[in-house]
Chain A
Amino acid sequence: MRVPVDWLRSYCDPGLPTQGLADALTMAGLKMERIHHTGVGDVSAFLVGRVLESEQHPNADRLTVCRVDVGRGEPQTIVCGAPNVAAGQTVAVALPGAVMPDGATLGEAKLRGVKSSGMILAEDEVGIGEDHQGIMVLAEDLPVGAPLAEHLPIADDVIEIEITPNRPDAMGVYGVARDLHAATAAPLAEDPTAADATPAGSDTAEDHISIDIDPEICLRFTARVFEDVKIGPSPLWLKQRLMAAGQRPIMNVVDITNYVMLTCSQPLHAFDLDRVRGDRIDVRRARDGEMMRSLDAVERTFSSEAALVCDAEGPSGIAGIMGGQISEVSEGTTRVLMEAATWVGPNIMRTSKALGLRSEASARFEKQLHPELAMAGQRLAARLMVELCGARMVPGTVDAYPRPAEPRVAPLRYTRMEKLLGERIETETARGILGRLGFKREGVRPLESGALRSGDPLEDVAEPAQRDEAERWRVPPWRDSDVQREADLIEEVARIHGLDKLPTTLPSRRNAVGRLTRSQRLRRRLEDLLRDRGLNECVSYSFTSPAALERLRLGDVPVLRLDNPLSEDHSVMRPLLLPGLLDAARHNAAHGRPGVRLFESAHAYRPSEPLDAAPTDAPQGRLPALERHHLAVLFTEAAPGGWRSERRTADFFAARALLEAVLAVAGVEWIAEEGGRSFLHPGRAASIVARESERQLGWLGEIHPLVAREWDVPGPVAGFELDVEAVLEVTAGHEEVYRDVTSFPAVLQDIAVVVPESVPAADVEEAVQAGGGELLAGLEVFDLYRGEQAGEGNKSLALRLEFRAADRTLTDEEVAQRRAAIERELDGIGGRLRA
């Protein structure tokens, strides 16, 4: 919102420079984005002058040589190109050295042989309007030589403020002035929308127009009729205010609607009443596919969501967003229908989004205006219509307002205010602030929580006997959508009193020591481990696209969908971290870095299921979603190549080795179970399972080549993903316990096991463990061999076995028994010991 400072000061002038005004507004919650300067530079080079003589330029048909008295000794000689310049006129003059709105400095110049010392100004040359037809001819009685800035708004500052969605009232200059008044206590001019115009004639508005609305999409529709309207340009002051606020002046009627909107936030729309077919307005939802050409000359097609303002024959405007060309006010207009309506904010926002059409009006309506404001807008517009367009206001207003809004009343206890703010603000200070903001104190009632309605019984007491009694405050309509509860009133007091004035204290806590939770410590440990091994940590969005899940063949996995996604690409919550890492691998591959080793430690999401327990502290009910902390690794090379070592490509075993290191740190006994995921390479994938609890911890393996290809990531690609919270659960309460390994020696044996290719190493380990029993204290696969001695279709695994008993030295016999048992177990899975 661009707030022209001169305009703002006309309502409330605390005597501060522009920067001071901006600071006061910022501290009150209307944040200044930047300050602009509009119009000319230093105003002292601009004066009121009088043309003494004007004569044809000797060498140019279209130029006039003027002698202009600017009240400074000799008259200036000025060459002027405007067709309307004439002797005797009072004009606006820029002297050499003047800085024009575009930043250029005016110099003395010779024009076709005649020296010109200055310039006679047209309105666009000082940023007042856009007219360049001719010079401005000023009122005759202006004193020659007077500073021009005293008579024309040729220079202004503009404070651009950021409007939060809860403050549609601050999208009008008077609304901003009200906050300035509240913050500085400088006097506030009377509300420009308070006074109405005087109607004339014996007809009424109903004689000219009938109105019918759908109350589901239109809360209120008011219409007034103006006749004998004289279309023309707006006066300079109005043009300048519009220009400074960022609107182009067009013609008086249109400028009035914009001016009213910029004053009090209520958008208006003017129809040429002679072009409203059938003298009736019907507000209804569009029919699917219905079309209309809007004021910006674009043919629009509507869905049934859109609200349309129609006449007897069809659409005449898009409700709350933009009018239609069919009923546009033009040069020949003499009868105007002025509409001030109140629309349903979310409906306007959706339609505006669907049409890709945002306007100054829709930006206000989507923040939900109060129906009371419609008549405020009508009053100010009516006065301007009469004053500036010479119009006759037809008596009466057609007002379709089926469900009048009740005034809102909120309670306020000063004890509550002190508790919430942490500081006692004096009753009189608080009342002064609320009063300046337009809130009205209605009386007192005994303490009772909850909202009060205006009609509730009221104790007839003017003053609360105690600070903990509730006062009743009536909320002004322009703040209705924002201030509804006691806490909102307290916030109003706090922001105007100054949030910076509230005392800063630390929360009072005793014996509290901050430390990381077990979960946080584990996460950091694992992240550090991966980073120290040279992996790079990624951060990706929690949102992902259904298409990415489709590429992972996860089409039927339940996912959390966003109700209101920013885009289709960010429309679901990621059920695992893999897609983000694949995106990162793709990005780097596309930028010349195909070899990556990445990890991410972050949340993954899924819908909650009936069996999911809510956290113990949750008041009741289920969780809407389950968030789990995951740790995922993805790499396209196991180790980068160097001068001494070959680059190692990513594979299952490299992923497994890294996972082993991670889970060793976490203290998890685990096994890799057969069973991959839809996105993994079938023969080179496994599920990570906790050994004792058989809890699923995640996946491990090589990414399916097709998946990698669809992501444009050069394969092979391997990785794993762990549910860190499951890891925490299986290791909870686990403490390392000493095992006696020093009293008695261990027996070490290496064996070679030949199994068919189809038998995974995990099965071999399990068989050996089963055969070895308690005496088998250690087991490690240390080699893999395929070839002649293993036989076609077989592989040979070399294992190191460590036999140990805590209470004795093992005999050869005992070990031989165990080996025999191991052989039997291996036999069961089709394996044998190799000689």
Chain B
Amino acid sequence: VLDYVAGNGYDNERVQGFAWGMGIERIAMLVHEVPDLRMLYQNDLRLLEQFGAGP
């Protein structure tokens, strides 16, 4: 990545920034007390209906 941006006009003497990442799923797990991260991707109605609009 650094080589790519350096080769495309990024001057690291002039520009600096933060590189970081976070997993939004992990935050969602904590907030909503979902025990398994994979459940967030199964799209099971029994889970979805607990959040937002149900039937």
Q: Which of A504-546 contact B (CB under 8 A)?
A: 531-532, 534-541
A640 within 8 A of B: yes
A sample of 8 more A-B contacts (CB under 8 A), given A449-B13, A531-B52, A584-B43, is A420-B16, A531-B53, A534-B55, A536-B52, A537-B52, A539-B40, A539-B43, A620-B9
CB distance from A422 to the nearest CB of B (A): 10
- Whole-angstrom distance between the Cβ of A648 and the nearest chain B Cβ: 14
Q: Is B46 an interface residue (CB 8 A)?
A: yes
Q: Are A588 and B45 within 8 A (Cβ)?
A: yes
Which listed residue (A532, A580, A621, A640) contacts B53, Cβ 8 A? A532
Closest 9 CB pairs of A and B: A584-B43, A619-B9, A538-B43, A619-B8, A536-B48, A593-B45, A531-B53, A588-B45, A531-B52
Contact B42 A587 (CB under 8 A): yes
A420-B16, A537-B48, A621-B8 in contact; A598/B43 too (CB < 8 A)? yes
Min C-beta distance of A533 to chain B, whole Å? 8
B41 pairs with A419, CB closer than 8 A: no
Give the distance to chain A from B27, nearest Cβ to Cβ, in Å. 14
Task: Contacts A620-B8, A621-B8 given; indicate if A540 touches B41 (C-beta within 8 A).
Answer: yes
Q: How far is the CA of A588 from the CA of B42 in the complex (A)?
A: 9
CB pair A587–B43 under 8 Å, yes or no, is yes
What separation, in Å, do the CA atoms of A445 and B41 have in the docked complex?
Answer: 55
Scan B25-40; emit 1 where CB is below 8 A from any A CB, else 0: 0000000000000001
**Cα distance A532–B54 in the bound complex, in angstroms:** 9
Chain A residues with CB under 8 Å of B9's CB are: 619-620
Whole-angstrom distance between the Cβ of A611 and the nearest chain B Cβ: 21
Q: Contacts A420-B16, A619-B9, A621-B8 given: A534-B53 contact, CB under 8 Å?
A: yes
A591, CB-defined interface residue at 8 Å: yes
Residues of A within 8 A of B52 (CB): 531, 536-537
Question: Which chain A residues lie closer than 8 Å to B45 at the CB level?
Answer: 536, 588, 593, 596
Chain B residues with Cβ under 8 A from A580's Cβ?
43
Chain B residues, CB < 8 A from A532: 53
A-B contact pairs, 29 of them (CB 8 A): A487-B12, A531-B52, A531-B53, A532-B53, A534-B53, A534-B55, A535-B53, A536-B45, A536-B49, A537-B48, A538-B43, A538-B48, A539-B41, A539-B43, A540-B41, A541-B41, A583-B43, A587-B42, A587-B44, A588-B43, A588-B44, A591-B46, A593-B45, A596-B45, A598-B43, A619-B8, A619-B9, A620-B9, A621-B8
B10 x A536 contact (CB < 8 A): no
* A583–B10 CA distance with the chains assembled, in angstroms: 42
**What A residues does B55 contact at CB under 8 A?**
534, 640
Contacts of B49 in A (CB 8 A): 536
Interface residues of B (CB under 8 A from A): 8-10, 12-13, 16, 40-46, 48-49, 52-53, 55
A621 CB contacts on chain B under 8 angstroms? 8
- Measured between beta carbons, the chain A residues less than 8 angstroms from B53 are 531-532, 534-536
- Give Cα A535 to B53, complex, Å: 8
Interface residues of A (CB under 8 A from B): 419-420, 449, 487, 531-532, 534-541, 580, 583-584, 587-588, 591, 593, 596, 598, 619-621, 640
Q: How far is the CB of A577 from chain B (nearest CB, A)?
A: 12
Q: Which residue of A lies closest to B28 (CB)?
A: A539
Give B25 Cβ to nearest chain A Cβ, in Å.
9
Residues of A contacting B13 in the complex (Cβ-Cβ under 8 angstroms): 449
Q: How far is the CB of A544 from chain B (nearest CB, A)?
A: 12
Task: Give the distance to chain A from B22, nearest Cβ to Cβ, in Å.
Answer: 16
Complex-state Cα separation, A99 to B42, whole angstroms: 47
In the complex, chain B residues whose CB is within 8 Å of the CB of A619: 8-10
A537 to B48, CA, bound (A): 7
Q: Which residue of B lies closest to A538 (CB)?
A: B43
Given contacts A419-B16, A534-B53, A534-B55, whether A540 and B43 have CB atoms under 8 Å apart is yes
Taken together as a complex, chains A and B put the C-alpha atoms of A487 and B52 apart, in Å, by 46
A487 to B18, CA, bound (A): 13
Q: Which residues on B sit within 8 Å (CB–CB) of A531?
A: 52-53
For the complex, what is the distance from the CA of A532 to the CA of B10, rounded to whole Å? 45
A318 CA to B14 CA in the complex, in Å?
48
Instruction: Give bound CA distance, A587 to B52, whole Å.
Output: 20
Name the B residues within 8 Å of A539 (CB-CB).
40-41, 43
Docked Cα-Cα span, A540 to B25, in Å, equals: 12
Beta-carbon nearest neighbor of B13 in chain A: A449
Q: Report the separation of the CA atoms of residues A531 and B54 in the bound assembly, to the nearest whole angstrom.
A: 9
Q: How far is the CB of B40 from chain A (nearest CB, A)?
A: 6
Q: Which of A419, A535, A591, A620 contacts B44 (CB 8 A)?
A: A591
Q: Which residues from B are CB-within-8-Å of A587? A: 42-44
- B10: A residues at CB distance < 8 A: 619
Nearest-neighbour CB distance to chain A for B37, whole angstroms, equals 11
Tell me the bound Cα distance from A525 to B9 in angstroms: 38
Residue in A537, A539, A598, A619 whose Cβ sees the most chain B Cβ within 10 Å: A539
Taken together as a complex, chains A and B put the C-alpha atoms of A420 and B15 apart, in Å, by 10
Q: Kindly provide the distance from the CB of A41 to the nearest chain B CB, expressed in whole angstroms.
A: 33
Give complex CA distance A819, B40 in Å: 56
Shortest CB distance A522–B (Å): 19
A364 to B42: give the CA distance in the assembly, Å: 36
Distance in angstroms between the alpha carbons of A686 and B47 in the assembled complex? 33
> In the assembly, what is the distance between CA of A541 and CA of B10, in Å?
32
Q: Which of B41, B42, B43, B46 has the most CB of A within 10 A?
A: B43
In the assembled complex, how far is the CB of residue B38 from the closest CB belonging to chain A, in whole angstroms? 10
What is the CA–CA distance of A92 and B45 in the complex, to the nearest angstrom? 63
Q: CB-nearest residue of chain B relative to A584?
A: B43
